[in-house]
Structure 1
Amino acid sequence: MNAVNRRNFLKGSAAATLAVSAFGLKAMARPSAPHYRVALIGTGWYGTSDLLRLIQVADVEVVALCDVDSEQLSKAGKRVSERQKSKKVPKLYKEYKKLLAETKPDLVLVGTPDHWHPLIMIDAVKSGAHVYCQKPISVDVIEGEAMVAAARKYGKVVQVGTQRRSTPFLVQAKENIIEKGLLGKISHVEICCYYHMRNGSNPPEQAIPANLDYEMWTGPAPYRPYDGSPHIRWWRAFKEYGNGIMGDMCVHMLDAVRWCLDLDWPKKITSTGGIYVQKDAKSNISDTQVANFEFDEMNVVWTHRTWGAPSNDAYPWSYIFYGDKGTLRCSTQQYDFTPVGDGEKIHGEPIIDGKTYPEDMDEERIEIHAANANRAHLRNFVDAIENNTLPVADILQGHISTASCIIANISMELGGRPLVYDPKSMTIVGDHEATQLLNRPYRAPYVHPLPSNV
């Protein structure tokens, strides 16, 4: 079979796989399946997108929405009423604790900025809900440890939004190339992001708009003077609320590599970087960074630049396996296997079918290439609840990937010294200064969660 025919055959195989694992998901939401009462906390871009995918694949009624921005909340309520079967507008809340107490949802989706993830997820499982939490799960490492402890203590399923683990064509690459040994021994992996996604603006301080409770939006994070809407990309420009490009984009690629190769914690983490080029912006996250995650006889090396050109135009955000028999490049858009020598190349990519879910085609800001992955990931979440199993992106897996990226940032902050994390003692081995940075102070009156007090 020549390379062209093989490519067409694999596209057909991918289509068959997608038909079962993604496009066939409507059939999986059987009339006899449990009916779930759902709430979304954080109704911005990806939170609402996740909720609309869940409506497509499970028997749910969205009973409540929560957001500190009344305009964003109202808009989300209207969109949900147009999409769910009952056509009802969910109850709208500004305070998530009130939502949990009054509506008692079965499932909670957490779509807030990162600095709110831990408190909301922990309170949600305490209230009796299973949780789908967007990545990264936390801003500091001890928050993540507390989240894992809470999920286990209250016996709830917590799925993290690292949906590469449910992306049909990437599952195909894992099963048909990596697991079948086409790469041979894998001894090096590169992960990267070269998107120009670091906000470079310098807006002045402004009056807080009436529709936004900025005090509550800030929550446990340090308080910054209001200088414009924090939504979408502005809040990600600051270490007060997240972990920069490392926490936003590396967590996806590192998690995908760990999933593909069944990796646990890195043995050692080292990182260097800083603001090398875009010095005029208010943003305080790095514009250039390299991190090395060491595993047995293999390094996983991350690079990001928010300036300049990518090293490979076809794979600007990707993970690349180097084996002694070949190379596998993977991204959210495609994968390519290139063997050593004269073997056949293999290509795969997502298939978009507007006939099965026509509503996708007109949805505002949808990542259409990732819609099938998100549907499959949310269905896996529901299946784990129904089967009393761990989901594919269980909270522990999300914690390992998140914490590894946070520790890389700590290494960078400490001048690039290597750090070894011990999850049993929850310390950086032999490094008191680094250990102190695993747990950042909360703004009063918020109390930092600990594994011992959830």
Structure 2
Amino acid sequence: MRSSRRRFLRQSTQVAAAGAFLPASLAGASARPVAPADTISVGLIGGNSMGWADLTSMLKNPGVRCVALCDVDQNVLTKRAAELEKLPAQTTIASKPTLYNDFRKLLENKAIDAVVIGTPDHWHCLPTIMACQAGKDVYVEKPMATTIEECNLMVAAARKHNRIVQVGQWQRSGDHWKAAIDMVRSGKLGTVRLVKTWAYMPYGKTFPVLPDEPVPAGVDYAMWLGPAPKRPFNRNRFHGSFRYFWDYAGGLMTDWGAHMIDMALWGMNVTAPKSVMASGGRFGFPDHAGETPDTMQAVYDYGHFTLLWEQAIGIGRGPYNREHGVAFVGNLGTLVVDRDGWELLPEADNGNYLMPAQPPRRMYGNDLDRHTRNFVECIRNRQQPNAPAEVGRNVALHAHLGNMAYRLGRKLVWNEATQTVVDDAKATEMVKARYADDWKLPTV
């Protein structure tokens, strides 16, 4: 069974903590000395999970140093500061980073050139826009934001302030993904009339309901909630499991769908669907504490093909015996790709293949390292990165529309020109952001 995201994160963290960075030749980074003027000073906002993986990956590039860490959990902040000191000296260049509990203070630091935003999803929009306004480039985790309106504002901010914004959809930098997309676009599959995308994740079988409790020592919980609705502290909603609550994220759809659906959009060269319908529920584990579905299918229509998204928690044997992936189904054959590689499955007629068979192509190297290296290169050359804000916005649009169709229980027709759901006022309201208390959606 293919490696899950959880195993990937665990392995990445272990490698980083041990200082076992890839040699420059394998990481793809240049071994030449970096001039002081080309040094890039990075600040991390949100030090858990992917934020830390992104930072330690970025630090493998010559001339990149970490000068600031920010987290609302002092326990995380202290842990990461200590781990950063243990990394090879050449990866940090400078002395100890400045520590912050409020990202706004970090953004005031004029020594910072770029920020990595690894916060929960509901905290992606504000720091990204404020960083752009402060003249800093941004690497922000996917999904780009929790609403379509926020995504649109983030795109506008990147354009207005001429900032490099790379979204953490790192398949866009993977060599085997690029080769697979080239094959899809070559026409050799014949007419592609269906694209299947999926994530069947074997984790999550146990997620019991827990009572509310006092806020843990060292945690600024009011800041953690930020623009989200005010609720008592509950451990289930905190740190990694925030993904399974609508206040902060969108379940597997926005977690894995932001990766796999993005590859479908890339291969088919589309940006927005005509309509979407979805069905599912908490079928496998109805007593789980989360709100998002453990089982769901969403179908997107583009007029000349359809895209299917499937998700399941607690089982790992997905389509084509892969726990995650994308399948481009054509008249002459099907191309199936996941993080391990890709293969062609030719159609046959009268015992003859309709397209030449090929051996499976395997992944090699580290796609996350390629993605962060692309970000570093684009900071220096001011070229568009592999996953710019527009790419992040387009796949987030799909993820949110799919979740909206599921939650409302009806088919939604999308008008890209007006950014509204046709003849559906309630759905159109869900397109918009709703910030709690004194937090306000930025004006761009």
Paired residues of 1:78 and 1:89 also in contact (CA < 8 A): no
Instruction: Tell me the amino acid that sits aligned with residue 348 of structure 1.
Output: R
Is 1:389 aligned to 2:417, yes or no?
no
Is 1:347 aligned to 2:377, yes or no?
no
In structure 2, the residue matched to 1:4 is: none
Paired residues of 2:203 and 2:315 also in contact (CA < 8 A): no
TM-score under structure 1 normalisation?
0.86
1:396-435 → structure 2 map (5 Å cutoff):
396-422=390-416, 424-435=417-428
What SS class does the counterpart of residue 196 from structure 2 fall into? strand
Deviation at 1:28, TM superposition (A): 6.7
Residue among 43, 46, 51 paired with 2:50: 46
Structure 1 unaligned spans of 5+: 1-18, 353-371
Deviation at 1:227, TM superposition (A): 2.2
Instruction: Tell me the amino acid that sits aligned with residue 121 of structure 2.
Output: D
Paired residues of 1:116 and 1:219 also in contact (CA < 8 A): yes
1:291-330 → structure 2 map (5 Å cutoff):
291-308=298-315, 310-312=317-319, 314-330=321-337
Paired residues of 1:338 and 1:346 also in contact (CA < 8 A): no
In structure 2, the residue matched to 1:241 is: 248
Paired with 2:104 and 2:25, the residues of 1 have a C-alpha distance of: 34
Question: 1:138-159, CA deviations, whole angstroms, 9 ceiling, x for partnerless residues?
Answer: 1111011111111111110101
Deviation at 1:346, TM superposition (A): 2.6
Instruction: Tell me the amino acid that sits aligned with residue 344 of structure 1.
Output: A
Question: 1:322-378, CA deviations, whole angstroms, 9 ceiling, x for partnerless residues?
Answer: 1111111111122221222343233122235xxxxxxxxxxxxxxxxxxx1111111
1:82-161 → structure 2 map (5 Å cutoff):
82-83=86-87, 84-86=91-93, 88-161=95-168
Deviation at 1:409, TM superposition (A): 1.1
Deviation at 1:203, TM superposition (A): 1.7
Paired with 1:284 and 1:167, the residues of 2 have a C-alpha distance of: 33
1:366-381 → structure 2 map (5 Å cutoff):
372-381=366-375
Paired with 2:141 and 2:439, the residues of 1 have a C-alpha distance of: 21
In structure 1, the residue matched to 2:201 is: 195
Structure 2 unaligned spans of 5+: 1-21
Q: Which moved more, 1:136-145 or 1:382-391?
A: 382-391
Paired with 1:24 and 1:373, the residues of 2 have a C-alpha distance of: 9
In structure 2, the residue matched to 1:11 is: none
Paired with 2:208 and 2:142, the residues of 1 have a C-alpha distance of: 25
Paired with 2:272 and 2:156, the residues of 1 have a C-alpha distance of: 17
What SS class does the counterpart of residue 44 from structure 2 fall into? strand
Paired with 1:314 and 1:20, the residues of 2 have a C-alpha distance of: 33
Question: 1:165-190, CA deviations, whole angstroms, 9 ceiling, x for partnerless residues?
Answer: 11122222223x22333312211111
Give the percent of matched residue pairs that are identical in Structure 1 and Structure 2: 29
Deviation at 1:309, TM superposition (A): 5.5
In structure 1, the residue matched to 2:74 is: 70
Instruction: Tell me the amino acid that sits aligned with residue 294 of structure 1.
Output: D
Paired residues of 1:58 and 1:382 also in contact (CA < 8 A): no
Paired residues of 1:66 and 1:93 also in contact (CA < 8 A): yes
Residue among 268, 273, 276 paired with 2:280: 273
Change (3 A) 1:22 1:105: same
Q: Which moved more, 1:316-325 or 1:202-211?
A: 202-211
Paired residues of 1:81 and 1:87 also in contact (CA < 8 A): no
CA RMSD across the alignment: 2.2
Question: 1:69-100, CA deviations, whole angstroms, 9 ceiling, x for partnerless residues?
Answer: 11111111122222224363211100010111
Change (3 A) 1:51 1:268: same
Question: 1:294-338, CA deviations, whole angstroms, 9 ceiling, x for partnerless residues?
Answer: 123110101112245634473111111111111111111222212
Deviation at 1:270, TM superposition (A): 1.7
In structure 2, the residue matched to 1:368 is: none
Q: How many equivalent residue pairs?
A: 412
Paired with 1:22 and 1:282, the residues of 2 have a C-alpha distance of: 46
What SS class does the counterpart of residue 71 from structure 1 fall into? helix
In structure 1, the residue matched to 2:190 is: 184
In structure 2, the residue matched to 1:35 is: 39
Paired with 1:69 and 1:311, the residues of 2 have a C-alpha distance of: 36
TM-score under structure 2 normalisation?
0.87
Q: Which runs of 4+ in 1 moved over 6 A?
A: 19-22
Paired with 1:329 and 1:446, the residues of 2 have a C-alpha distance of: 44
Paired with 1:297 and 1:213, the residues of 2 have a C-alpha distance of: 50
Deviation at 1:241, TM superposition (A): 0.5
Paired residues of 2:57 and 2:372 also in contact (CA < 8 A): yes
Deviation at 1:43, TM superposition (A): 0.4
Deviation at 1:418, TM superposition (A): 2.5
Is 1:437 aligned to 2:430, yes or no?
yes
Paired with 1:240 and 1:445, the residues of 2 have a C-alpha distance of: 17
What SS class does the counterpart of residue 397 from structure 2 fall into? helix
